[in-house]
Amino acid sequence: PLTGNESRRFTNKHSKKALKASLTLGILLGMFFVAWLPFFITNVAQAVCGCVPAGFFDVLTWLGYCNSTMNPIIYPLFMRDFKRAMGKFLPCCRRSAEPRPSAISLSMRNSHSGPRAPTSLKNVL
């Protein structure tokens, strides 16, 4: 059982995580609405009155596409776990002290099984 002080610290830690997750989600949804809402409003206006210039429609379409390029920027800025995971696999984000994981170690980690006997390509074929 947790004491009162430990319980408050536990609750405070989870509250900070929940607040940060809410902030990240709010930013992502806000960016989505800013990028795509003008496109959808213009799309409806075009269907009703046909008064939207093609160039303006193209600009709004590309604004929506730009939202997809913002997600890989927003996630690492606000999520430490995401940044660490990407740092393991992208050479540009890896720290020099971290060894690069091999494909074998990754498959072993993801296979949910114990160590296996080494196999050669000749045995597999």
User: Is 103 inside any structural domain?
Assistant: no
Q: Are 81 and 50 in contact (CB under 8 A)?
A: no
Give the tens place of pLDDT for each residue, 69-107.
Answer: 888 788 777 777 777 777 787 777 666 555 555 555 555
- Within a domain: 16: yes
> What is the reported pTM?
0.53
Q: Residues of 14-34 as b/e, b for ≥16 C-beta within 10 angstroms?
A: eeeeeeeeeebeeebeebeee
Q: In this predicted model, which residue has the larger pLDDT, 39 or 104?
A: 39
> How many structural domains comprise the chain?
1
For the record, the structure tokens of 66 come out as 């730009």
Above 60 in pLDDT, residue 40?
yes
Domain that holds residue 40: 2-89
Whole-number pLDDT of residue 78: 75
